[in-house]
Amino acid sequence: MPDMHPTDPHRFTEIMSLVSTFPKNVTEVVKGKYTCWRLSRQFHKHRRSLRWNEQTAHIIRMQVQRATDDINRSHDNSLYKKDSSVQSLTEQDFSILQQIRDATTQANRSNMTRTKAYLACYEQYPELHWALLAHLVSRNGGWNMSDLKGELMKNLMTSSLRDDIYRMLERCNALIFQDAYPQLQLYIHSKRIGSSCFHLLPSFHISTFMTPFWNNFWIDRNSALLAVGLIINEQHYIEERVVKHNYFQKNIFQSSEYRMQHLAHINQILFPLGRSSRDEHNPDNTRQNTGPTYGLVGLVLENFSDIDERINLGKALYGLLFGYKDVLERVTTYALHTEHQGSRSEYWPQLFTTDKETALNSLHESSELLKYEWLPLEKRIYSPILNDVWYDMPYDPIPRYDWLRDKEELTQYITQPPRPLLIEMSHDHRNAIQKISLAHDIMGINK
């Protein structure tokens, strides 16, 4: 029998130490599920009407179907059909187009500039519900990007895979902004001048799918219906350009490393809660002993590569955000009063830190998390500021085509968003971090 490697006894001890934490990990998961339901019920007491107008939705479904039939019957190979030629545009139209192009280029530099721009749209015109939803999802995108350079990920994937995932996340976020922000700006300019500017949608290569949504929104201001349209549009916009792109399919989605890790906690979409109006009258009513100071709500995306799931999740997130009075109030408070820098310490400073020098750096991060409700100052998880670890990435030229071509059965998506019930995520999020920490520790021992 060959001699045992001199480090094997130590390695065996490390493995057994991790195995001994499994029962407590399971207990925490079960306890977390019960707590999730108990805390979620508190939000159910104060529901908001989504003001869904089924009659208008039916009209739009018919208009979308006609547009789909027309574009599929057309033998015209041009990428977009413009409602009006360049010659018919007025001087005011050209001015608006240039202003929006300049503003889009300026705001599309990075995750942080995009996140800020979305919130500014919502602050200016709160009927643009999708802008607040996009702001929050963009925050999550920034946290996911920073995670790739954080402590927990370094043992879980190669640097090349981390780079590719960053490129994919950045490309998705940038393309959605490139498509959606001009639409929001056209509405803002329409409000400013008092007449519709949506005849300019084709000038920004916006899919014909969106035309009936904006035309109807200009008349009846049905925020939920517009949000559903934008959710469907933006997910189709990135489907072929990014998600199904050969490079990302080969280097990310089809890689065994990605599928094995599955990035469990990255797939959680989190909406941090700010202080509620009731907390102002009860300063002791905080949650500093159990998680983020004021809690988290959110949902989980199981399979990013499935467009049906992405659309359904987007609609459920809308229902979560605008379907509960306390959620909307407290999430908006957080968004307005917390600067986005891409670090998870923004919403959970008792668990994460931006200071790499004082951050936890060991092969026992899972065990440390089980010891404490929140981590001591010198043992917190490193979650860097986005601009400190990544760079602004100029993206490749955007393929110009209308995704509506060759699509069928789109009208099935144009339905009222659901109002999810299990929404409190503080314990689930901590359990997800626990699982990632355990994987981090195991991979570290095996190196």
Query: pLDDT-derived band of residue 405, with 50, 70 and 90 as boundaries?
Result: confident
Q: Which one-letter DSSP state was computed for residue 45?
A: T
Is pLDDT at 175 greater than 80 in this prediction? yes
- In this prediction, residues 176-204 reach a mean pLDDT of 98
Higher pLDDT, 176 or 373: 176
Distance, in Å, from the CA atom of 234 to the CA atom of 278, rounded to the nearest integer, reads 37
Distance, in Å, from the CA atom of 216 to the CA atom of 234, rounded to the nearest integer, reads 19
Query: Which tens digits make up the pLDDT trace of 91-133?
Result: 999 999 999 999 999 999 999 999 999 999 999 999 999 999 9
Q: Sign of the CA dihedral 55, 60, 63, 69? A: negative
Distance, in Å, from the CA atom of 142 to the CA atom of 153, rounded to the nearest integer, reads 15
Query: Which tens digits make up the pLDDT trace of 26-60?
Result: 555 566 677 788 899 999 999 999 999 999 999 99
Query: pLDDT-derived band of residue 202, with 50, 70 and 90 as boundaries?
Result: very high
In the block, which residue shows the tokens 């668990």? 351
Ordered by start, the domain boundaries in the chain are 8-446
Q: Which one-letter DSSP state was computed for residue 266?
A: T
Is pLDDT at 203 greater than 50 in this prediction? yes
Distance, in Å, from the CA atom of 53 to the CA atom of 131, rounded to the nearest integer, reads 20
Nearest to 122 by CA among 268, 241, 230: 230
Query: Which tens digits make up the pLDDT trace of 294-308?
Result: 999 999 998 899 999
Query: Which tens digits make up the pLDDT trace of 262-293?
Result: 654 458 999 999 998 766 555 444 444 445 76
